[in-house]
Amino acid sequence: MRHFIIVGILVIVISILTYIGLAAIGLMPLAASAQAGPIDWLWNLEVMTISFLFALIVVPMAYSLVVFRRKQGDTTDAEHIEGNTNLEITWTIVPLFIVMVFAYLGAGNLAEIRRVDPQAMVVNVTGLQWAWTFEYPAYGVVANELHVPEGQQVLLQMTSNDVLHSFWVPEFRVKQDLVPGRLTELRFTPTVPGSYKVRCAEICGTSHAYMEAPVIVSAQADFDAWMIDQVALAEEAAATPEGRGRALVAANGCVACHSVNGAAGIGPTWFGLFGRQERLTDGSVITADDAYIHESIKAPQAKIVAGFENQLMPAYKFTDEQITDIVSYIKTLK
Amino acid sequence: MRNKYPVGSGLLLLLLGGAIGYGIGLGIDMLISGTLNYSGSVASAFALLLAVSSFFFGVFGYRGITRGLVWQVLGTLIGGFFVTGIRALMGLDLFGSFFFTEPAWVFGAFSGVISFLFGVGVVSDWMKWARGIDTPEHHEDVPTWEKYLGVSLDHKVIGIQYTVTALVLISVGGLFALIFRTELAASQLQFLTTTFKLFNQNGPQIYNSLMSLHGMIMIVSILLGISGIMNYVIPLLLGAHDMAFPRMNAFAFWIAVPATVLLLMSLVLGGFDTGWTGYPPLSARAPVGVQMFFLGVISAGWSSILGSLNIIATIVRMRAKGMNAMRMPIFMWASIATSIIALTATQLIGLSFQLVMFQRLFGMGFFDPAKGGNPVLFQHLFWFYSHPAVYVFVLPGLGIISELLPVFVRKPLFGYRWVAMSSLGIALVGFLVWAHHMFTSGMNEYLRVPFMYSTLLVAVPTGVKFFSWVATLWGGKITTPTPMLFVLGAIVVFLLGGLTGPPNATVSTDLHLHDTYFIVGHFHDTIFGGFVFPFFAALYYWFPKATGRRMNEFWGKVHFWLMTPSFFVLTFGMMRVGLLGMRRRIVDYDPALGFDLSHLVMTIAGYLIGISVLIFIINLVHSMKNGEKAEGNVWNSRSPEWQVPSPMPAHNYAVPFEVVGEPYDYGLPGSKYVQFIDAPEHVAHPEIAGHSEMKTHQSWGQEQNDTHTR
Amino acid sequence: MIHIQDKKSMLGQGILIFIYLAVLTGLEFFVAISFNSVPLLVVVALVKAALVLYYYMHVHKLNAESPDEDEDSYDYKTGTNRLGLWLFLISDSFVFAGLMVVRINLLGLTRPHLDQTLGLLVTAVLLVSSFFMNRGETLMHGGDRKGFLTNTMITFGLGLAFLIGVVFVEWPNAISEGVTPSSGAQGAAFFMMTGMHAFHVLTGLIFLLVVLVNGRRGVYDQQNYPVEAVAVYWHFIDVVWIFFYPALYLIGALT
């Protein structure tokens, strides 16, 4: 009996210490969405349970190892105890009860974080290897950054152009895959203004690690100001070929592979590309002119620049006018 | 052919064959592409194939595994050229960037696997049967180490073949892990940069290939590892002279060898960047390496399916007299539970990969949204195996824990029936939980809650095991030689793995945790606790049975005390950064996240684990010849295999035994688990063992007690 | 070895079961073309499968072992082999179940444009082959090697006819209808399901050939488990088709 009392006290002490320790480290990142609240609450409850169960198993184990060690010179076996049905039933029923409680809480929790606000701001998200584009249908704006106003629910309607991706902002907690050929939805309500990053959480190929985009949460007024700028920029851009080209490049995530500032990337940089002499894989040299860039966008594998043999550029379905716009944009990159 | 320095000549030929293969490959590549590509795939593929074949040629001569490998190489080439020929007739492209075109590679690899099986000779008996020729029940093996490099029908030989292959694969997979762990030690790209070139892949691509292969190679090594232990131990514990189907047993092992070659081929043939899960549409776009990966997994899957079929049949049909269901050693229950899953569910991973394979080859649009396919369907098929697979990996390990605990606690297993039933419970519930891997996948929303309930249910039978283990320890007389240390380590590590599971099961928290390093930490805990630690425990425990010698205790303890703390550091670190925003399967992380120090610590811990495993392997090899002699009942166990001298004779028990008591009645005076039929009083009977200096059961026990208290 | 009296009744039973199966197949076809009730089609398929499993594949034989037998006797080993074969079939059925899931998920209540007459025809051929397989097996058990060879030969011929019907008639036919492997989900499901099944038919034919050649030499006069094994495997292929046939040809509406 003495053993049980000691172990009982130790279990309680160790579980409290474990929990305090874990809580003190601060396990979760900043909670910056309304959904993070319920999730962190459930998580905290789970950490408590984990601390207790951990102590419940490990303390008696460690205690047995110390107290019930075989004594020097003892060759006999221990007391013959085969089991105890009541105990077995107890430790089947009690955990069953606990997990059912957690399942019940989990279901409620899920319902809470999926609560629909009919006023939610809709953003259409497209994932592609390896970039994000965000389209605000209410404003006709396409951007590579996600700007959202504080305190308003955002409904992301997401799809993918190529492979699976996954939308995850750790500070918002929630995550949803982007599936080609269908729309998936994700709702969150940002609560803390600041600058975050969406990171692709589902492996999507070579540059999966770099498939990130800024997420800016700001006050409604700042958001409105940004949006007015974007609308103006979009209108301005639509008026010139370079502007249209730049918009197309933004909407299709070209810069994920082709840098516009000369930095090395998955594909050849566009900085100073027009008119440049490029060495191809077959050893010949070609000048990057209108015809070559047109061809390379339509049939990326036709003439590959040396050093980029195994990069599978997807075939984009641009019209000839659109490609001309893109080339105009490339011409400005010097 | 007697060879005085088998390993030396093997290594020499390895280098030679590798160099020649590399040269040939360079030449071919040069002819096709017109440039010399020193880090290219074709040269590497030829170098790999020829190096492996010539290594075994040097070790062993042209028979057994060497013949199999040579035939595999020839089969691959013939199959490849066959398809290339057909393509020539159809006027299609003859060669791709990896020498053969993709269909040619797939067919070639497939015919290579079949050729291997014929070459190694594992199907020759069946071919004789098909021609109506009878074959002897058993083939006598040569008594030297050479029997391990050719086809043997003896379950003990096959068990060791499995185990050694598993250890080799663990080393390869671990090496891969160390390579990419090193890259992760700091943010930004250090050596796997975009300008790095190997096997036609740049740094991030190599990272993805290694990371994906680390997953699958470890999974295959686990499947082989549990098969190794089960094969070696099950007939011994049942009192059978062999498995129910010895030829199928050999087949199941040998098909895993070409599977391994294919997995390695996938790395050199352009690799694949999908992770071990191979989700389409990404896997439908990956380089041809992914096809080798698929074929390798399908072959290894057949190994698992046929192996588990054999185990079920053996346990159902070959038990000793008197061994009813509740008197079976507890490991049998674990093995049955594992085998039920492996037998059935494995087909689904094979099917899911085959469908992607055919989507690539024939344009069949199963998972292609443009053709009315459904990418999420793949995940359902895939996880229907791949979640229960986790229980395939851990249930034998949990069985080993339950099997070994009573021996070192000197007390019966607490609640035998409950522990036995909990294995079946885990296996059966395990079939109903797969979609918890898909909470964020975009599957039907209403499926999430039922799968949360079923997933949390798994905690109940798992909990029964933990409580029973603790109750077994309570009030025992515990000794802690190396196997027991690993058993205890397994319990704690698996506990951590188990406890970090429920947050992934409750949907809302999983929305944060899914696809992060938290998951990586969680499943490494479950796999180390459920497989790696028990596997080492089993190796330390049954090593004397197989060799008649003990492994070195001191180095065994060094292995344990080096590996366990490092492992805790590693997985705690993983979970920590995962919660804070570290995603899975990334070659690089944002320096702004501030994970550099954590990752550096994790990398160091990873290296320490590598060193500890190296110590283990050296200990293992060294002890085979030089270990302390241990021919008796080293652990003072009640189990039948320890009642006869070690190493085990070729056809197991010369005299059959009868089960006369409960398996774990330690501390019950006068009780016995098995009674050898016709043998008076003790097993110690010169005719039985063919060993005149046998000690009695009692004196072995004495000796064992001495070593414990020493 | 079974008694001659038994042999007669066993043969009679085989005929009776075949008649049931034939009637059910006719009913199935009628249900499909007249009012296409999915639950009814499922029930009919389940009943057909149960009949084959019990009367043709003798699933009950798994239970018919006395445990105290000598482990090295042929009878005991046959019991082990029987268990092994059934375990394999259970494993294999998961492949087909997986394909069924693919079909249900991708196609739902639609079906591809296929020639229903041809479908019914190949189904009938496979069903009749099962009947002859059962007859051949029963005769072998009764010690009638000649009858066994004749009936197995017929089975082999019908199996070959089925394979040719599917691969060389039905496939080109489907392709000409626009259902090709790469045309879309329907084509993919159709070719994968029939292809996987045809692969099993092919292996079944090889096993039949082995048993035929060895049977001619008298290998199975005493110990004839291999004949039973081939028969069970062949019936298993039939059971798979019992489900695949309605799934591909009958259930759902044309799109």
Residue C83 touches chain B, beta carbons under 8 Å: yes
| Whether the Cβ atoms of residue B516 and residue B589 lie closer than 8 Å to each other | no
B168 CA: distance to closest CA in chain A (Å):
28
How does residue B651 score in pLDDT terms, banded at 50, 70 and 90?
confident
| The predicted structure's pLDDT at residue A53 | 94
How does residue B679 score in pLDDT terms, banded at 50, 70 and 90?
low
Task: Answer whether C184 sits within 8 Å of B365, measured CB to CB.
Answer: yes
| The predicted structure's pLDDT at residue C67 | 55
Computed from CA positions of residues A31, A35, A37, A41, in that sequence, does the dihedral angle turn out positive or negative?
negative
Residue B669 touches chain C, beta carbons under 8 Å: no
CA distance linking residue A60 with residue C131, whole number of Å: 65
Looking at B520-534, B590-604, B696-710, which range is the least confident one? B696-710
What percentage of residues in chain B have a pLDDT greater than 70? Answer: 95
Query: Exposed, middle or buried: residue A16 (CB in 10 Å: 0-12, 13-18, 19+)?
Result: middle
C247 CA: distance to closest CA in chain B (Å):
17
Nearest by CB to B491, from A61, A83, A87: name it.
A61
- Neighbours of A, requiring at least 3 CB pairs below 8 Å, are B
| The predicted structure's pLDDT at residue B694 | 40
Task: Answer whether B509 sits within 8 Å of A42, measured CB to CB.
Answer: yes
Q: Share the mean pLDDT of chain A.
A: 87
Chain A residues touching B273 at Cβ < 8 A: 203, 205-206, 208
Chain A residues touching B279 at Cβ < 8 A: 163-164, 202-203
Q: DSSP per residue over A288-325, as a string?
A: --HHHHHHHHHSTTSS-BTT-TT---------HHHHHH
Chain A residues touching B702 at Cβ < 8 A: 75
CA distance linking residue A28 with residue A24, whole number of Å: 11
Task: Please tell me which residue, C5 or B361, carries the higher pLDDT value.
Answer: B361
Task: Answer whether B309 sits within 8 Å of C84, measured CB to CB.
Answer: yes
Answer yes or no: is pLDDT of B702 > 70: no
The 10s digit of each residue's pLDDT in B222-256 is 999 999 999 999 999 999 988 999 999 999 999 99
In the block, residue with structure tokens 């009813």: B324
Per-residue pLDDT, averaged over A179-183, amounts to: 91
CA B196 remoteness from chain centre: 31
CA-wise closest residue to A306 among A326, A285, A323, A327: A285
| The predicted structure's pLDDT at residue B233 | 94
Query: Do the chains C and A touch each other, judged by at least 3 C-beta pairs below 8 angstroms?
Result: no
Per-residue pLDDT, averaged over B425-442, amounts to: 91
| The predicted structure's pLDDT at residue A232 | 86
How does residue B705 score in pLDDT terms, banded at 50, 70 and 90?
very low
| The predicted structure's pLDDT at residue B688 | 42
B298 CA: distance to closest CA in chain C (Å):
12
Answer yes or no: is pLDDT of B597 > 50: yes
Give, as one character, the DSSP assignment of residue C114: -
Task: Answer whether C80 sits within 8 Å of B309, measured CB to CB.
Answer: no
In the block, residue with structure tokens 């208290």: B709
Say how many CB pairs under 8 Å bridge B and C.
105
With a CB cutoff of 8 Å and minimum separation 6, the contacts of B646 are B544, B545, B546, B547, B548, B630, B631, B632, B634
Answer yes or no: is pLDDT of B204 > 50: yes
CA distance linking residue B630 with residue C139, whole number of Å: 58
CA-wise closest residue to B42 among B192, B207, B265: B265
Residuewise pLDDT in 10s, chain C (255 residues) = 444 557 778 888 888 899 999 999 998 888 888 888 888 999 999 999 999 999 888 888 888 765 556 777 888 888 899 999 999 999 999 999 999 999 999 998 888 888 888 999 999 999 999 999 999 998 888 888 899 999 999 999 999 999 999 999 999 999 998 889 988 899 999 999 999 999 999 999 999 999 999 998 888 887 888 999 999 999 999 999 999 999 999 988 887
CA-wise closest residue to B18 among B66, B67, B53, B63: B53
| The predicted structure's pLDDT at residue B683 | 47
Q: Which uninterrupted H or E stretch holds B377?
A: helix B375-409
Task: Answer whether C185 sits within 8 Å of B347, measured CB to CB.
Answer: no
CA distance linking residue B26 with residue B24, whole number of Å: 5
CA distance linking residue A258 with residue A276, whole number of Å: 15
| Whether the Cβ atoms of residue B303 and residue B227 lie closer than 8 Å to each other | yes
Answer yes or no: is pLDDT of B684 > 50: no
CA distance linking residue B383 with residue C45, whole number of Å: 28
How does residue A122 score in pLDDT terms, banded at 50, 70 and 90?
very high
Q: Which residues on neighbouring strands pair with residue A305, listed in sequence order?
A: A280
| The predicted structure's pLDDT at residue A312 | 64
The 10s digit of each residue's pLDDT in B342-353 is 999 999 999 999
CA B232 remoteness from chain centre: 15
Task: Please tell me which residue, B142 or B270, carries the higher pLDDT value.
Answer: B270
By 3-state DSSP, what share of chain C in percent is helix, strand and coil, each rounded to 5?
80, 0, 20
CA distance linking residue C112 with residue C183, whole number of Å: 11
CA end-to-end distance (rounded Å), chain B? 46
| Residue A245 identity | G
CA distance linking residue B239 with residue B675, whole number of Å: 11
Nearest by CB to C80, from B130, B132, B244: name it.
B244
Please state the φ and ψ torsions of residue C132, each to the nearest 5 degrees: -70, -35
Quickly count: other Cβ atoms within 10 Å of residue A37's Cβ: 15
With a CB cutoff of 8 Å and minimum separation 6, the contacts of A140 are A231, A234
- Neighbours of B, requiring at least 3 CB pairs below 8 Å, are A, C
Nearest by CB to B362, from C105, C182, C213: name it.
C182
Nearest by CB to A83, from B200, B409, B414: name it.
B414
| The predicted structure's pLDDT at residue B402 | 94
| The predicted structure's pLDDT at residue C69 | 67
Nearest by CB to A174, from B511, B580, B585: name it.
B511
Which ranges of B581-672 does DSSP label H, i.e. alpha helix? Answer: 596-626
Answer yes or no: is pLDDT of B210 > 50: yes
| The predicted structure's pLDDT at residue B699 | 38
| Whether the Cβ atoms of residue B10 and residue B61 lie closer than 8 Å to each other | no
Residue B366 touches chain C, beta carbons under 8 Å: yes
User: Residue C246 half-sphere exposure, CB side, CA atoms within 13 Å?
Assistant: 27
| The predicted structure's pLDDT at residue A309 | 64
Per-residue pLDDT, averaged over B20-44, amounts to: 82
Computed from CA positions of residues A202, A203, A204, A206, in that sequence, does the dihedral angle turn out positive or negative?
positive
| The predicted structure's pLDDT at residue B704 | 40
Computed from CA positions of residues C180, C186, C192, C198, in that sequence, does the dihedral angle turn out positive or negative?
negative
| Whether the Cβ atoms of residue B246 and residue B555 lie closer than 8 Å to each other | no
Task: Answer whether A106 sits within 8 Å of B506, measured CB to CB.
Answer: yes
| Residue B559 identity | H
Query: Do the chains B and A touch each other, judged by at least 3 C-beta pairs below 8 angstroms?
Result: yes
Q: CA B403, B404, B409 angle in degrees (round to 5)?
A: 120
A100 CA: distance to closest CA in chain B (Å):
7
ipTM of the complex: 0.93
Which ranges of A68-205 does DSSP label H, i.e. alpha helix? Answer: 85-113
Answer yes or no: is pLDDT of B560 > 90: yes
Q: Share the mean pLDDT of chain B.
A: 88
Task: Answer whether C98 sits within 8 Å of B351, measured CB to CB.
Answer: yes
Angle between helices B482-499 and B517-527 (to 10 degrees): 150
Residue B431 touches chain C, beta carbons under 8 Å: no
| The predicted structure's pLDDT at residue A130 | 85
Report the chain B residue with the minimal C-alpha distance to residue A49. B499
| The predicted structure's pLDDT at residue A176 | 94
The conformational region for residue B363 under phi > 0 = left, psi -120 to 50 = alpha, else beta, is left
Looking at A41-55, A245-259, B287-301, which range is the least confident one? A245-259
List strand residue ranges (DSSP E) for A240-295, in order. 277-279, 285-287
How does residue B260 score in pLDDT terms, banded at 50, 70 and 90?
very high
Task: Answer whether A65 sits within 8 Å of B480, measured CB to CB.
Answer: yes
Chain B residues touching A206 at Cβ < 8 A: 202, 204-205, 208, 273
Mutate to test the interface with C, among B309, B341, B438, B659 (most CBs of C within 10 A): B309
B656 CA: distance to closest CA in chain A (Å):
27
CA end-to-end distance (rounded Å), chain C? 54
With a CB cutoff of 8 Å and minimum separation 6, the contacts of A332 are A242
Please state the φ and ψ torsions of residue B529, each to the nearest 5 degrees: -70, -35
Q: DSSP per residue over A98-121, as a string?
A: HHHHHHHHHHHHHHHHT---TTPE
Answer yes or no: is pLDDT of B3 > 70: no
Distances (CA, A) of B454 to A112, A252, B523: 21, 41, 19
The 10s digit of each residue's pLDDT in B625-634 is 898 888 888 9
